[in-house]
A and B are shown apart, each in its own frame.
Chain A
Amino acid sequence: MVLSLRDVSLSLQGNAGMVDILHDISLDVAARETVGLVGPSGSGKSSLLMLMGGLERATSGSVEALGNDLTAMDEDALARFRREHMGVVFQSFHLIPTMTALENVATPLELAGARDAFDRAAAELEAVGLGHRTGHYPAQMSGGEQQRVALARAAAPRPDVLLADEPTGNLDQATGEAIMDLLFGLRDRHGATLVLVTHSQELADRCDRTIRLVDGRLDRETRRTAEAAE
């Protein structure tokens, strides 16, 4: 399994005391699989995705990625693991405002020690149709363009796992669709595992499997192949 979660719970300190976000989640994601996480707002989809990426620490239970126990790693070990194996895309893009598009994309490659970081970053930007915008800062680009840079940044190191948190949430429908085409195209090209949080059923339907969360618990699992078989 690429990702393997066992009895994972997550509680966070809120203003009015501890808030339970996730309860006893166990699930596996296979190599090259595409998984859609769906559910109402506040159901814990994004938190689950963050746990998979080691961006959040489980209160209990174990999270394994590519055979490594993420719960046993410190911050730096998690960072090194991500730069070798994971790409993350956010709803709000999260580009670094003080860097140009090219620099944003090159950063994870540089961190991984790639000698040709900038050439690969340029190629990646070309692939998402932004070859002409390499020198622009995030503030000089539209939302759709920023998300394409974020996609390029996530995909550039050829990660084993792509995690995307509502990547089209801040975009209009047409732009959103274009971004999704790009995301799935990248996944297909690099053969990565993709876990995607989305509100869009249409998007979820493009995944091999859809997992629905309600109140921090696994509610229902649907497989596209099974669905097609029914």
Chain B
Amino acid sequence: MNWLTQAARIAGRELRGGLGGFYIFLACLALGVAAIAAVGSVRVSITEGLEREGRNILGGDVEVEWDFRGASEAERAYLASLGTLSEIHDFRSMAATGDGSEADRALTQVKAVDDLYPLVGEVELSPEIPLEEALAGDGVVVHPVLADRLGLEVGDALWLGSKPLTITALLRREPDAGADGFGLGPRTLVRRATLEESGLLSEGSMYETKYRLLLPAETSDDALDALKAATDTELEGTGARWRDRRNAAPQVERFVDRIGSFLVLVGLAGLAVGGVGVSAAVRAYLDRKTPVIATLKTVGAEGRTIFAAYLMQIGVLAAVGIVLGLILGVLIPLAAGPFIEARLPVPVALGIHPFPLVEAALYGALTALIFTLWPLARTEQVRAASLFRDVSGPARGLPRKRYMAALAISAALLIGLSAWLSGIPELALYAAGGILAALVVLVGAAWGVRALSRRLARTRLARGHPALRLALGAVGGPGGEATAVVLSLGLGLTVLAAVGQIDANMRAAIDRDLPEIAPSYFFVDIQPDQLSRFLERVQGDPAVNRVDYAPMLGGVVRSIGGTPAREIDHWVTRGDRRISFADALPAGTRLTAGEWWPEGYDGAPQISFAQEEAEEIGVEIGDEVVMNVLGRDITATVTSFREVDFSSGGIGFVMIFNEAALSGAPHTWLSTVYAEEEAEGQLLRDVAGDAPNITAIRVRDAIDLVTEALSALAAATSWGAGATLLTGFVVLIGAAAAGERGRVFEASVLKTLGATRGTILTSFAIRSALLGAAAGVVAIAGGAVAGWGVLTMVMEAPYAFEPVSALVIVLGGALATLLAGLAFAWRPLAARPARILRAQE
């Protein structure tokens, strides 16, 4: 019989004792695995739903999109040759209840469609009439939210631009809503032909044209690839963007992917917290087993046999914990399914998805291994002599090299796996580093608070205050729960504090900073001949503090400095870019290099480039930029760099041409107006009443939308952090429960020596508070560092320490420790000394 078989037999016999005493171990592991499995399952459910329903979501097999223009005859002919072609115009506009300045107005996202729309799926209306009927004549369909906002019902008139229309139905379901991403206003659906006299969609105005293609049913993904390559070549340099059924809703997919990955990282932090509990449970178990291990050694068991026997037992227990976690991880998304489906514009394929379960199980197994190897390795250091001599006190020194190597390999595997599987390797590595650093700092803090307590216990300060000295002695003395409590609580609180810091900072940025500097309105699509009347109105208003305006048109970058745009990986060179022109240097603009062209300059075209973007792309003064503007290639030389702050909410263009280069091209004007809040309503009515084609985007509404999206993000993150904290609390309860035996004994001895229950309780409370405070201080620092890292490195936002959030979290932590400590103090306080002390004889 070899040593492994022997070990298996010993393990089997030992396991007959059942799972008693392992509830904390199981809970810690199951919670961590469940959180990760649930997040992963939801993520896969959504992405699988997107894949399966891609054609329906996109409203076709392929979509080719242009900004600010429709396809030329040749382009349209090419697309039509590929399959059934449908054309959609998508733009923002003002929907109004009338045409005068008394009318109510609201921003809407208009979708102007042709007779073929939708190529795939069904539009659902209320009343249930066919779309064809609803859009016939001057018919228009609106989203119920828009109808509510304007107080309109079916049958009422609705004005788009200068065109009165009739609401024929409300939009219940728009099959391709997921593909359109997040719009700024509720949807209006209308025939393109109906808008002919509306004054909207004129050359130079801001709109998107989408060409949806239905391909023959047998078109494979390979054929799609070939088609994409052919189309890329055919339409190269026209600013056309390709999308097909395989990535129908990239915004939703990216959003879900991002938040899913982020939550998995939070889940991993939770698993690390659970690991502390797992480790403590295994330590306690092996401590109880010391006589058994010593006996086994006495009768001839080798160290490796004993190590393997206990590793097998922990393995079986870990498997039970992981399976429990997986069951929970499958059930939670199924239970929350309707809630998740109601909040997403895309279908969700809820069910059992094996991949995220395997991922969660792997994380769970590796975590269990990492956190139990150390105490397991110590079993080799138990000497047979401990049976006969009370060699109490923990074993010292490091485990043997092979165990240390196994530990390092497991940790590397876990970190590597999370970096690989999360799809955000950089953030995963930072998170792993952060968790590791937090663990090290917490171990240090635990050591520090113990050393400090030992020292304080011996100072005059503690003398004469038995409750304080008892607490200091318990925290600083050998054994005890100090390390486990500080580690688990500290790590849990650090994760929570980090999430709190990130959330509070982002809210602060939106609530406090932005509205102060942001304009009230963006007015877009102002036609050149409307500009002077518009400026007259807004500049003449005493409630308006500032008006900025600039001409705007669309263009496609062909090449920069001789490098074709497709070889430059930067957002500036992708698709259509909004550009502007100016003669004199616009007020408030600061040049960082080069020189602005002289007034009235009409020589070879010149460009002033945004400093930061120029640096990112590698543009230098003197470089030539070839820009296609409405079908005409313009070659311009970069002659200056400017400072452009895109975060201020004002007007900012990456490229400004000299006036003579572009003023002949069709363009519209963009204006930002900074006004007192109470004047905003009248301003909108006057401007839109005078020129109904001008679209006003109220910045406060846009901010509300961002805040709403952020709240959803914060809510999801809070759930993740909540799972981590719950694990932390389980560990805390485990530590308190494990310490209960010790406290019962201690309380009995102290009563014998004359301590009242009040003194004993005070002592327990002080030690809980000490540990909670130590964990809390580290959590504040760790949360601040993690918050700073995520905000500055991942979100590229400024960071400021948010003391309220931090304090609340830390006080909560100290209180939780106190409560857990006190909850487990009743038994020690109630115990009769004689029974307890004699049981130990």
Chain A interfacial positions (CB closer than 8 Å to B): 12, 46-47, 50, 53, 55-57, 75-76, 78-84, 88, 90-92, 94-99, 103, 106-108, 110-113, 115, 117-118, 137, 139-140, 143, 153, 157, 165-166, 169
Contact = CB atoms under 8 A, between A and B. Distances in A.
B463 A92 contact: no
Interface string B367-393: 000000000000000000000001011
B802 to A, nearest CB: 38
Given A75-B751, A76-B757, A110 B466 contact: yes
B187 interface: no
Nearest to B475: A98
A107 B466 contact: yes
B837 interface: yes
Interface of B: 390, 392-393, 457-458, 463-466, 469-470, 473-474, 476-480, 742, 745-746, 748-759, 832-835, 837-838, 840-841
Given A80-B756, A99-B473, A94 B834 contact: no
Contact of B754 (A56, A84, A118, A139): A84
A65 B219 CA distance: 100
A97 B479 contact: yes
A155 to B, nearest CB: 12
Given A96-B746, A111-B753, A166-B841, 18 more contacts: A46-B838, A50-B833, A53-B752, A57-B832, A75-B757, A76-B757, A79-B754, A79-B755, A91-B841, A97-B477, A97-B478, A98-B477, A99-B473, A103-B457, A103-B473, A107-B470, A110-B466, A157-B754
A84 B66 CA distance: 93
B39 to A, nearest CB: 41
A143 B390 contact: yes
24 contacts: A46-B838, A50-B833, A55-B834, A76-B756, A76-B758, A79-B754, A80-B756, A82-B754, A83-B755, A90-B837, A96-B746, A97-B392, A97-B479, A98-B474, A106-B463, A108-B753, A110-B464, A110-B465, A113-B464, A137-B393, A137-B478, A139-B478, A165-B841, A166-B841
A123 B164 CA distance: 104
B814 to A, nearest CB: 21
A107 B841 contact: no
B479 A79 contact: no
Contacts of A83: 753-755
A94 to B, nearest CB: 5
Given A94-B840, A98-B473, A108-B753, A47 B393 contact: no
Nearest to A56: B834
Nearest to A57: B832
A-B interface, 7 closest residue pairs, ranked by CB to CB distance from nearest: A83-B754, A98-B477, A50-B834, A56-B834, A55-B834, A76-B756, A108-B753
Most buried by B among A76, A90, A99, A143: A99
A90 B754 contact: no
A102 to B, nearest CB: 8
Given A50-B834, A92-B840, A98 B476 contact: yes
Contacts, number: 120
A172 B466 CA distance: 34
Contacts of A113: 464
Contacts of A112: 754
B247 to A, nearest CB: 62
A210 B592 CA distance: 104
A99 B837 CA distance: 18
Contacts of A165: 841
A12 to B, nearest CB: 8
A55 B752 contact: yes
A90 B371 CA distance: 39
Contacts of B840: 92, 94
A110 B469 contact: yes
B835 A56 contact: yes
Given A55-B832, A96-B746, A117 B757 contact: no
A43 to B, nearest CB: 14
Given A98-B480, A137-B478, A107 B464 contact: no
Nearest to B751: A79
A121 B840 CA distance: 26
Given A110-B466, A117-B463, A117-B464, A99 B834 contact: no
B477 A94 contact: no
B19 to A, nearest CB: 23
B753 A82 contact: yes
A139 B393 contact: yes
Nearest to B470: A107
B646 to A, nearest CB: 60
Contacts of B835: 12, 56
Contact of B753 (A12, A140, A153): A153
Nearest to A91: B841
B750 A107 contact: yes
Contacts of B457: 103
Contact of B832 (A56, A82, A91, A111): A56
Nearest to B830: A75
B838 A50 contact: yes
A91 B841 CA distance: 7
B508 to A, nearest CB: 45
A47 B837 CA distance: 11
B759 A82 contact: no
B757 to A, nearest CB: 6
Nearest to A51: B834
A115 B464 contact: yes
A111 B466 contact: yes
A55 B750 contact: no
Nearest to B468: A110
A130 to B, nearest CB: 17
Contacts of B834: 47, 50, 53, 55-56
Contacts of B746: 96, 98
A82 B464 contact: no
Given A57-B832, A80-B756, A97-B479, A110 B463 contact: yes
Nearest to A110: B466
Contacts of B755: 79, 83, 107, 111
Nearest to A81: B754
Contacts of A46: 838, 841
B827 to A, nearest CB: 14
A53 B840 CA distance: 18
Contacts of B757: 75-76, 79
Given A46-B838, A94-B840, A117-B463, A80 B480 contact: no
Contacts of B465: 110
Nearest to B454: A100
Contacts of B748: 94
Given A97-B479, A98-B478, A139-B478, A118 B463 contact: yes
B527 to A, nearest CB: 83
B522 to A, nearest CB: 67
A96 B480 CA distance: 12
A90 B838 CA distance: 9
Contacts of B841: 46, 90-92, 165-166, 169
A12 B834 CA distance: 12
Given A56-B832, A96-B746, A110-B466, A139 B756 contact: no
Contacts of B837: 55, 90, 92, 94
Nearest to B482: A98
A169 B841 CA distance: 10
A198 B686 CA distance: 105
A150 to B, nearest CB: 10
A190 B463 CA distance: 25
A92 B478 CA distance: 19
A79 B752 CA distance: 7
A47 B392 CA distance: 29
Contacts of A107: 466, 469-470, 750, 753, 755
Contacts of B749: 94-96
A46 to B, nearest CB: 6
B759 to A, nearest CB: 7
A138 to B, nearest CB: 8
A153 B466 CA distance: 15
A180 B821 CA distance: 40
